[in-house]
Amino acid sequence: MSFKYPDSTNDPNIYADDRTNSYYSSKAADLANKYSKTADLFSIHFVKYLSPGSKILDIGCGSGRDMVNLLKAGFTVTGADSSDVMIGTAIRKYPELVGKISLSGLPNLPGIGNTFSGILCSAVLQHIPDSNLYESFRRIRELLKDEGIFVVSFPVNYPGIDPISNRDPAGRLLYIRPAEKYRFLIERLGFSLIETELQDDSLGREGVQWTLQVYRKEKVSRREPLNIIDSILREDSKVTTYKFALLRALAETASYSYNSAKWLPDRMAAVNIDTIAEKWLDYYWPIITAETFIIQGQDIKKERESDIKFRKSLFDFSQMFLKTNSLSDYHSVKNQNKLSDLMLKLERKVLSQIKTALIQGPITYSGSSRTGGKIFSYSNGSLLMPSELWQEFSLMGRWIEDSIILRWADFSAERPYNKANNIKLSTILDLLLYSIETKRDVSIVKKILESKVSLDCVWTGKTVEKYDIDHALPFSIWRNNDIWNLFPTDYKVNSRKSDKLPSRKLIDSSRKRIFNYWDMYFEEASSLFLYQAGKFCGAKFTDLTMDTRNTLFSAFNETVEVAAEGRNVERWEG
């Protein structure tokens, strides 16, 4: 990494909030004495799964208590902590730890080499911001051997945290997150949860509770949620294409904007229903505006009847955009904030009817005895589902979506009305794929760049006269056409990059230029930039602050790593 986080140590590879570090440094001796009197909560889990002598890394080892317990249990132990005062205190209290602790920390654990059979990360992650969590887990996976054991604990209840600053009365930075969010982030990197338990606070603080999770680093992850998806597609009764549209929208959203979900207690995830409705508008537009009437619901006697609830309102809305590619025209006008009052009124009507169809249709009626009953529910503007299902969509959504599109086309082609009118599966398939291709539009960024006198290639830094507009996350791999993902690139460089993903080193070296172009886009199209960036990051941005930039840059980096590792996409060094 080539930049320094705010409120950090001097090493840019370590995130350490100054006020939090100050607390632990000032209280080091007192904390060490308190922790030494608490029960051994962790060594038992390593003893259960690892052989004596196995190498274990304790991240955020603090007072050294857990390292000593692991040594007593027969393991070879290495520690890492971001506070030199805590390290000194630990060594004075436990001389056997001399030479075993390094000044290091998450997300990148600089100076920690080799691989370990076990890794412990206790009471650390609550001090790490969201933008550094993925990188932290990625590094942990890198340091852990296959079949290795990862033990992690974090607070899930902690009274007294200020909801705005995320700080406790002592000034420490404390992020209280649902256990399922941690599970999602960890399992999507190839781990399997093998144990979990809710624990009371070892120091006896009232209302404070912790979750302990034990993971194994696996080569192959479980695929049980696929059975739920398959059951809905094959076994659920269907009189419309709504269930296909819902599953497709979830697969697409999870694949390309997995931060859209909010993690809830009781192993549930929530996705804003507006996000799903907007995708339905895109999916059904080409079908409803096709010259040939193609039924998507119950059979009808006359064309243009309401086989689906929103057919008429969507058709009427589409007539406001009379160009050949009306859906593309709609997105272009919308992205430029040029929808008229009448257009906005009709758009709201369409989306309202779509949401009603969603709630009264597939959200209410998806699931069967095989899936254990209903799969989805609706509450306060969000679609709720089991968190394991959202995780599956995030991991496999790209492939799931392809299957759903084909099944949707096949179901439509088999409707009696469509068969009687000789509507081919291939025709329907082309229409369902149209909404994907029409979004590959760079006109807004092109217009912004045309007004600039001089431009630098985002990847090389050299001034260019003849340039292409490059999807940093290639469109063929990650269908993201947001303006923050589009950059001017020397046309020869762009040709060499093609559909490859930029390497981590190249992204870091281009960070300043990426930020400069984001600033440029924000200046010319602030509302669109913030909306698209926020949607991608699962946040609501109101301004382009340094925190906004860092959060977006972290999400971009994370997405590149997921695509490279999960889809085996070639990296490009520049």
Three-state DSSP class for residue 534: helix
DSSP bridge pairs for 151: 120, 214
Q: Which residues lie below 8 Å from residue 442, measured CB to CB, with a gap of 6+?
A: 469, 481, 486
From 225-229, 323-327, 491-495, the region with the lowest mean pLDDT: 323-327
The residue behind tokens 């100076």 is 111
Identity at 449, one-letter amino acid code: L
pLDDT for the residue numbered 140:
95
pLDDT-above-70 percentage for the chain: 93
How far does the chain reach from its first CA to its final CA, in angstroms? 17
d(CA 196, CA 207): 19
Between 149 and 536, residue with greater pLDDT? 149
pLDDT for the residue numbered 432:
92
Identity at 180, one-letter amino acid code: E
pLDDT in tens, 306-320: 789 999 999 999 999
Half-sphere exposure of 39 (CA within 13 A, CB side): 8
DSSP bridge pairs for 212: 153, 197
DSSP bridge pairs for 488: 469
CB 296 within 8 A of CB 308: yes
116-122 vs 262-264, strand pairing mode: unpaired
pLDDT-above-90 percentage for the chain: 63
Please name the helix (run of DSSP H) or strand (run of DSSP E) that holds residue 558, with its range, or none.
helix 546-566
**376 backbone dihedrals φ, ψ, rounded to 5°:** -115, 160
User: Which structural domains are found in the chain, ordered by start?
Assistant: 18-217 (3.40.50.150), 224-437 (no CATH), 443-572 (no CATH)
From 130-134, 373-377, 483-487, the region with the lowest mean pLDDT: 130-134
Nearest C-alpha neighbor of 267 from the set 341, 196, 327, 365: 196
Kindly give the residue spans of alpha helices, DSSP state H, lying in 289-381: 311-318, 326-335, 341-360, 362-365
CB 63 within 8 A of CB 87: no
d(CA 233, CA 240): 12
Tell me whether the omega of the peptide bond preceding residue 107 falls within 30 degrees of 0, making it cis.
Answer: yes
The residue behind tokens 């697409």 is 252
pLDDT for the residue numbered 381:
96
- Range 33-39 contact pairs with CB under 8 angstroms and sequence separation of 24 or more: 34/203, 35/62, 35/63, 35/65, 36/63, 36/65, 36/93, 38/65, 38/202, 38/203, 39/202
pLDDT confidence band for 218 (50 / 70 / 90): confident
C-alpha dihedral sign at 267, 273, 278, 279 = positive
**324 backbone dihedrals φ, ψ, rounded to 5°:** -55, -45
Nearest C-alpha neighbor of 318 from the set 450, 480, 434, 488: 434
pLDDT in tens, 416-436: 989 999 999 999 989 998 866
pLDDT for the residue numbered 4:
30
Distances (CA, A) of 6 to 40, 138, 413, 538: 35, 22, 57, 22
Identity at 483, one-letter amino acid code: I
d(CA 216, CA 149): 5
Other C-beta atoms closer than 10 Å to the C-beta of 566 total 15
pLDDT confidence band for 301 (50 / 70 / 90): low
d(CA 166, CA 124): 15
Nearest C-alpha neighbor of 329 from the set 339, 315, 314, 344: 339
The residue behind tokens 């398939």 is 429
Over 50: is that where the pLDDT of 479 sits?
Answer: yes
CA angle (7, 10, 13) in 5-degree steps: 85
Please name the helix (run of DSSP H) or strand (run of DSSP E) that holds residue 219, with its range, or none.
none
CA angle (411, 414, 419) in 5-degree steps: 145
DSSP bridge pairs for 215: 150, 193
CB 541 within 8 A of CB 530: yes
pLDDT in tens, 192-211: 999 999 999 999 999 999 99
**463 backbone dihedrals φ, ψ, rounded to 5°:** -65, 135
Over 80: is that where the pLDDT of 323 sits?
Answer: no
pTM of the entire predicted model: 0.71
Over 80: is that where the pLDDT of 512 sits?
Answer: yes
DSSP bridge pairs for 386: 268
Average pLDDT in the chain: 89
CB 193 within 8 A of CB 124: no
CB 128 within 8 A of CB 109: no
Identity at 90, one-letter amino acid code: A
